[in-house]
Amino acid sequence: MRASLIQIGPDDNEPIDSRRERASSLVREQAGADLVVLPELWKTGAFAFQRFADEAEPLEGPTYEAMAKAARDTGVWLHAGSIPERDTDGTLYNTSLVFTPEGELAATYRKIHRFGFDRGEAVLMGAGKDLVTVPVPGTTLGLATCYDLRFPELFRGLVDLGAEVLVICAGWPERRAAHWSLLARARAVENQSYVLACGSAGTHAGVLQAGHSLVVDPWGEVLGEAGPGEEVLTVDIDVSRVATVREDFPALKDRVLGREG
């Protein structure tokens, strides 16, 4: 599987339609990839809390349409990052979208762990409730978003549902960049899974982003890592290595806590 992680960042002065077109163009440049991933809230900015309500859209809104077309035009599986979604009852969610190479919606994931403690996303957006996996040719993806990375039980749940490739879109801040790399490797090692962690570049509402998107293999080795700026990181992964690592070092079979029965 060839994965392309598109590490972009929103420009506060760029019109929304231009941001969508720029992201769509970058997706189309990844012809030949199997899976393309965009960052969390790339259209708005993960820390641009004051814009969440104004830039929220229904699930099948303009960003959905643009990303579906980009996936179809390019013939790739597309994890389109996340958008501020406005549900029919008015609740906002940080929602990821995954499209098939035909441009059909394969899955949505509403972020479960909202960042901000008693402010920002934590009070402005509702919490998702469901773990989400996506079967793709040859493997299964498990979906997570940014702050979710700090909660290992979520990822163990995804593995229990069959995930072999853990895909994380994020708007991770530069001041905690060391945690980003550490936690991505930890999630790979403890779950014996690939981790594809796509971060954001630039500055969101004054918060400098970490960048440094990375791909980690099931043994914890970093196969590729981006720099701090806008960049596309493309890495070929061998999904059969998940089964090999789990067979050669069957730590998951020795679990006691968290197993039913």
37-65 pLDDT tens trace: 999 999 999 999 999 999 999 999 999 99
Find all residues with CB under 8 Å of 54, minimum gap 6, and list them. Answer: none
- pLDDT for 106 equals 98
| Torsion sign (Cα): 18, 24, 30, 36 | positive
pLDDT at position 261 is 45
- Judge whether 242 and 159 are in contact, CB under 8 Å: no
**Distance between CA atoms of residues 109 and 235, nearest Å:** 24
Amino acid 193: pLDDT: 98
Q: What is the pLDDT of residues 154-189, one digit of tens each?
A: 999 999 999 999 999 999 999 999 999 999 999 999
Annotated catalytic residue, options 43, 146, 164, 225: 146
40 is catalytic: yes
Phi then psi dihedrals of residue 77, to 5 deg: -75, 130
Q: What domains lie within the chain, and their CATH numbers?
A: 2-254 (3.60.110.10)
The DSSP code for 113 is: S
Q: Give the pLDDT confidence score for residue 114 in this predicted structure.
A: 98
Residues 41-72: b if buried by 16+ CB within 10 A, e if exposed:
bbbbbbbbbebbeebbbebeeebbebbbebbb
- The one catalytic residue among 40, 55, 85, 121: 40
Handedness of CA 218, 222, 228, 231 (dihedral sign): negative
Active-site residue flag, 111: yes
Q: What is the pTM of this model?
A: 0.97
Q: Active site residue: 111, 121, 164, 169, which one?
A: 111
Please give the pLDDT value at position 14.
87
- Residues of the chain whose pLDDT is less than 70? 259-261
Q: Which of 164, 225, 217 is nearest to 199 (CA)?
A: 225
Determine which helix (DSSP H) or strand (DSSP E) holds 155, and give its type and residue range: helix 152-160
